[in-house]
A and B are shown apart, each in its own frame.
Chain A
Amino acid sequence: MGIAIYILAFVFILLGVYALIAKKNVIRIIIGIGILEYGVNLLLVLVGYRKGGMAPILANGQSSANLAGRAVDPLPQAMVLTSIVIGLSITALAVALAIRLYDKYGTFDMNDIRDLRG
């Protein structure tokens, strides 16, 4: 059971990379970016997971060693927040570019958006 969710994270990552590389529609590529971000964020937050762990908040009268022995790792949670914010700004930028691309080319199909030669 424990391994299944790691496999899910990697499935997300692979799906996202597949969408970014193989899909030709701008909107699908942006959705691929989203899936890729979810996969990595899931992986990141799983790193700090502990079975039956408690929230990493020091209760009144609890010793810090006791907390460290029972709580989940708080650092990946802080990292995943940063990662989510970065993902948000990339998605926002990608959507803004997609709107401008549609204005110029009148299509979302990357096969038709190729003024630049390889």
Chain B
Amino acid sequence: MLMETIVPLMVIIPLGAAFTVVILSNLKVVSRLARIIAPLAIAVNLTLSIWICVYSYYYGDATVWAGRWDGIAGRPIGIELVCDGFARLMLVTINLVAFAAIIFSTAYMERFTTIWLYDSLFLLMTGAMNGVVLSGDLFNMYVFIEIAAISSYGLVAFGTEREELEAAFKYLTLGVIGSTFILIGVTVLYSLTGQLNMTRVARIISLRGISQSPAVILAAASLIGGLSLKAAMVPFHAWLPDAHPSAPAPISAMLSGVLIKAAGVYAVVRIIFNVLGINPYYANVLIALGALSMVIGVFLAIGQWDFKRLLAYHSISQMGYVVMSIGVAAAVVARGGSMMAASLCMLGGLFHMFNHAAFKSLLFLSSGSIEQATGTRHLKKMGGLARRMPLTSFCCRVGALSIAGVPPFNGFFSKLIIIIGLVVAGYPILAALAVLVALMTLLSFIKVQRYALEGPVSEQTNSVRESSWQMGLGMVILAVVCVLAGLALIPLKQYLFDPAGNALLNKAASMKNLLVEAVK
């Protein structure tokens, strides 16, 4: 009963707060009050998401029906909110990054006008992402993906300068193509099964044994194509390096840190594992997308001199690791291989997804702090920041060491698990590629350290001062997560990653059994 109240609140609080901010900011008496609503709402959400994690660990998964109608046939009709392990992992990730970003932006956004619009869009985006990961209904998931996408178009254009507007328009154009294909996929699945609920669609597909029929393949192609576009996987990545750096820094952190995961990778993994059912073809598509993104992303990143653009290309590359390793887990399950290898790859992928959210957001926040102090994003124009901005530099270093995979930071452990998992699952070539990409990532971040933080003090950095304490606090939260997530892997695995991996693998395995029975 308690969960029935709490789980919908994850969506209701941010969505409600988004509109409250707009109303309160325009009433003269309370307009100062409106500034604290957004941080407050996100803080409540973060607390609730952690509470849900711990509670569900002891009392099991919760399924909540919003707007339930019991119907005639005895099967409830309504919007199902599924709070299983995978959804809980994403909830914690989203709200953690959102909390750090909103604290950072209380100071960072001072130089913009109409901050209430920013707060409102930020809350809408966070609430919509919570909705995407909780949704157990295909159409509902599409609607939340669209809400998140539309608010992110607005946030990318928030500066309304030449570059921001251009990037936002390109992002919107490609985003529309992506969401249209998602909707086509949902439509085809609905016309085939007459259901929108993911569990029921999955059941009907496996019971009728139609997972190889042309209609399902059309739906799968549309969904995987559309969602990979949202996730910026490599042939569909062209919008990301424009859109992510053009947004204000906390929004870059949210877009790179969680939006491409919640609206892209999460959705595609959920649909392949829990709706369409895994088979070798989908697994190979995931592996190919992941490996391509991983390699091409890092090659594009290495030549960049714009700090935020470099980080954006690394996002493509790091998400490649996640998708590839989850794809290998799917391939192992599909061919009936050892569950140990599958769950190892799954753990690596999910852990890396969480870590990437922490360190990439941290790097984007510190790039924002540097940009605000020095007025430039060009690495060659920086220099000597380690002495001028000690806290920012320290946090930037923690993030760079984490993404480069240096022990004992979190990125090292997740990359290690992925590489071991790939070898155990029988993909030594991919494992070698993963090592190569890790080395190139390290190389690229040595360049960042060398040009931005070390070296002689340039004219532009001579008079800079450390940023305000709110920005520092936002960065320190994520830096602590980066350090702790590596050290506290065992408890995190128990409470977060194992339930998440099991939610995917067990459901996929049970669907496969249904299919085998149906064929008999």
Q: Which chain A residues have a beta carbon within 8 Å of chain B's beta carbons?
A: 13, 16-17, 20-21, 26, 29, 33, 36-37, 40, 43-44, 47, 64, 73, 75-76, 79, 82-83, 86, 89-90, 93-94, 97-98, 100-101, 104-105, 113-116, 118
B-side contacts of A104, CB under 8 Å: 161-162, 165
The distance in angstroms between the C-alpha atoms of A40 and B157, with both chains bound, is 27
| B345 → chain A closest CB, angstroms | 34
Q: Which residue of A lies closest to B161 (CB)?
A: A104
Q: Which of A13, A89, A115 contacts B184 (CB 8 A)?
A: A13
Q: Which chain B residues have a beta carbon within 8 Å of chain A's beta carbons?
A: 72, 139, 143, 146, 150, 153-154, 157, 160-163, 165-170, 172-174, 176-177, 179-180, 183-184, 187, 190-191, 194, 196, 238, 242, 246
Q: Given A79-B139, A83-B183, decide whether A115 and B177 contact each other with a Cβ distance below 8 A.
A: no
| A112 → chain B closest CB, angstroms | 10
Q: Are B166 and A47 in contact (CB under 8 A)?
A: no
Residue of B160, B172, B173 with highest tally of chain A CB at under 10 A: B173
Q: Given A26-B169, A97-B168, A116-B242, decide whether A76 and B180 contact each other with a Cβ distance below 8 A.
A: no
A-side contacts of B162, CB under 8 Å: 104-105, 115
Q: Are B153 and A100 in contact (CB under 8 A)?
A: no
The distance in angstroms between the C-alpha atoms of A82 and B183, with both chains bound, is 11
| B19 → chain A closest CB, angstroms | 15
| B170 → chain A closest CB, angstroms | 8
What are the 9 tightest A-B residue pairs by CB atom distance, in nearest-first order? Answer: A47-B191, A104-B162, A116-B242, A86-B146, A97-B169, A101-B165, A44-B187, A100-B165, A40-B183
Q: Are A43 and B172 in contact (CB under 8 A)?
A: no
The distance in angstroms between the C-alpha atoms of A61 and B12, with both chains bound, is 40
Q: Are A37 and B180 in contact (CB under 8 A)?
A: yes
B-side contacts of A33, CB under 8 Å: 173, 176
Q: Are B169 and A98 in contact (CB under 8 A)?
A: yes
| A78 → chain B closest CB, angstroms | 9
A-side contacts of B169, CB under 8 Å: 26, 94, 97-98, 101, 113
Q: Which residue of A lies closest to B168 (CB)?
A: A97
Q: Are B177 and A47 in contact (CB under 8 A)?
A: no
Q: Which of B166, B170, B177 contacts A17 (CB 8 A)?
A: B177
Q: List 21 A-B contacts (CB under 8 A).
A: A20-B177, A33-B176, A36-B180, A47-B187, A76-B187, A76-B190, A79-B190, A82-B143, A83-B183, A86-B146, A86-B150, A90-B172, A93-B150, A93-B172, A97-B165, A100-B165, A104-B161, A116-B166, A116-B167, A116-B242, A116-B246
A-side contacts of B177, CB under 8 Å: 17, 20-21, 36
| A95 → chain B closest CB, angstroms | 11
A-side contacts of B190, CB under 8 Å: 47, 75-76, 79
A-side contacts of B139, CB under 8 Å: 79, 82
B-side contacts of A29, CB under 8 Å: 173
A-side contacts of B183, CB under 8 Å: 40, 44, 83
B-side contacts of A93, CB under 8 Å: 150, 153-154, 172
Residue of A29, A40, A97, A98 with highest tally of chain B CB at under 10 A: A97
| A76 → chain B closest CB, angstroms | 7
The distance in angstroms between the C-alpha atoms of A101 and B168, with both chains bound, is 10
Q: A20-B173, A90-B150 are in contact. List 11 more A-B contacts (CB 8 A).
A: A17-B180, A21-B177, A36-B176, A37-B180, A43-B184, A73-B194, A75-B190, A76-B190, A93-B154, A104-B161, A116-B167
| B197 → chain A closest CB, angstroms | 12
| B476 → chain A closest CB, angstroms | 32
| A98 → chain B closest CB, angstroms | 7
A-side contacts of B191, CB under 8 Å: 47
The distance in angstroms between the C-alpha atoms of A40 and B139, with both chains bound, is 14
B-side contacts of A101, CB under 8 Å: 165-166, 169
Q: Which residue of A lies closest to B195 (CB)?
A: A75
The distance in angstroms between the C-alpha atoms of A83 and B186, with both chains bound, is 12
Q: Are B172 and A40 in contact (CB under 8 A)?
A: no
Q: Given A44-B183, A76-B190, A105-B162, decide whether A20 and B168 contact each other with a Cβ distance below 8 A.
A: no
